[in-house]
Each structure stands twice: as C-alpha cells, then as structure tokens.
Amino acid sequence: MDKKLDGRWNHNIHYYDIALAAAPMARKALDVGTGDGLLAARLAENVDEVTGIDSDNETLTNAQKNMSADIAWIAGDVLMYPLPEAHYDLVTAVATVHHFPDLATGLERLARLTAPGGTLVVIGCARSSIAQDYALELVGAVQHQVLSRRRGYWQHNAPVQMDFPHTYTQVKGIATGVLPGMIWRRLPLWRYAIIWGKPE
C-alpha cells in the first residue's frame, strides 16, 4: 500500500482484519465494491492475484492513482460484469451488499464467484430492530468516540448510502438461506460479518 494511505481509520477499515484473516490461504482474491482500494491493497500483500471491482468510475480512478500495488481494477457492476465464476479463493465485500437491488440475488452471485474451498467475507450495514442491536449501538457509539479521538476518522471517497433496506435479523435470515453453514457475527460500530466457506 502507498505509505501516504497508512494509518487511516474508519468503521470499515476497523474490520478489514476479518477479511485479511482469510488472505494467507488465497491465491486469487476479489474485492467487491473496492472503493478507494485500501482493502485490495492490503490483500495484495499476501495474495498473488487481486482484482478490485467498483461501479463508481471516479472513485476507482482515484484508487488506481493512489495505489502502487499490483491490482487488476474493473469499473463495473459485480452483478452484471462477466467475471469468472468459481475462480476466487477469497471474495470480500465491505459496506457493499446493502447497495444490491436484491440481497439474496447479490449473495448468490458472490457465492458463485467464490472457488470451491474458498471463502466469502461480507462486512455489512443494516438497521437495528431488537434489544441486542440497540445495546451494540451504544457500545459502538462509545467505541467510535474513543477510536476517533485516538486515530482520527477518515472519510472515504466512495458514494455513501445510509438508507439500509434490511434489519440485522433480516440479513441473517437471508444469508442463512443462501449461504448454508455461514458464520454470523454482529459487530459494534454498526456492522455485521458473514464468513462462509464454499464446499469443495
């Protein structure tokens, strides 16, 4: 990664380690909704072939200018672009799937892109609807204040959509149906994680 990008922090970057934990086992990785390309650059430190795809041309152009890592950049919609299926040992999507017109269809597409034996990691955003969600919102608010003061908060350049179509409970239900055996984690800082290993 370019040195001038080191040390940046926000809610998405905070959870990159969940995706990076699967990187040492991967040879080919796809970062969906790559935005500024920070996760793609981190993946490229351990993965031989990294592709970053994003539908926002301007953001992707900025990522290409700022990154020195060897990454294949694609401007396009992951739901429509002719990517090779069952090809990527690691597919990541951070703060991306709430942009999909249909969550189940989007998750199915990401699953098809994942190679047998590979891993799909989704870090997503949703709406609170139950007591546990609201409790974690309070934890997240405190965590945000502490970490923002300590590290500073960096606002990425990618378009932001704060209208989340699903609750956390709904996302978990949809993902359970599409990705059998997936691991679900509800996270502070207004996020959840889905980790799914595609059967061999």
**pLDDT tens, residue by residue, 62-97:** 888 777 678 999 999 999 999 999 999 999 999 999
Amino acid at 111: A
Contact 129, 27 (CB under 8 A): no
Q: Please tell me the predicted confidence (pLDDT) of residue 4.
A: 42
Torsion of the alpha carbons at 13, 18, 21 and 27, rounded to the nearest 10: -80
Amino acid at 72: A
More confident residue, 65 or 157: 65
Tokens 């953001």 locate to: 59
Would 147 be classed as within a structural domain? Answer: no
Report yes or no on whether pTM surpasses 0.85.
yes
Would 37 be classed as within a structural domain? Answer: yes
pLDDT tens digits along 137-147: 888 778 767 77
Q: Please tell me the predicted confidence (pLDDT) of residue 157.
A: 59
Would 133 be classed as within a structural domain? Answer: no
Would 136 be classed as within a structural domain? Answer: no
Q: Please tell me the predicted confidence (pLDDT) of residue 1.
A: 46
Band (154; pLDDT cuts 50, 70, 90)? low
Q: Please tell me the predicted confidence (pLDDT) of residue 159.
A: 59
Rounded CA gap, 165 and 98, in Å?
7
Rounded CA gap, 72 and 74, in Å?
7
Indicate the range of 5-9, 118-122, 188-192 predicted with least confidence: 5-9
Are β-strands 191-197 and 183-187 bridged in parallel, bridged antiparallel, or unpaired? antiparallel
Would 140 be classed as within a structural domain? Answer: no
Helices then strands, each counted (H, E), the chain: 7, 7
Q: Name the DSSP class of 2.
A: -
Task: Residue 79: give its domain's CATH number.
Answer: 3.40.50.150
C-alpha neighbours within 13 Å on the C-beta side of residue 138 = 4
Would 146 be classed as within a structural domain? Answer: no
Indicate the range of 21-25, 31-35, 193-197 predicted with least confidence: 21-25
Number of domains in the chain: 1
Would 30 be classed as within a structural domain? Answer: yes
Task: Give the residue numbers spanning the domain of 109.
Answer: 3-126+159-197
Contact 69, 90 (CB under 8 A): no
Would 145 be classed as within a structural domain? Answer: no
What average pLDDT does the chain have?
88
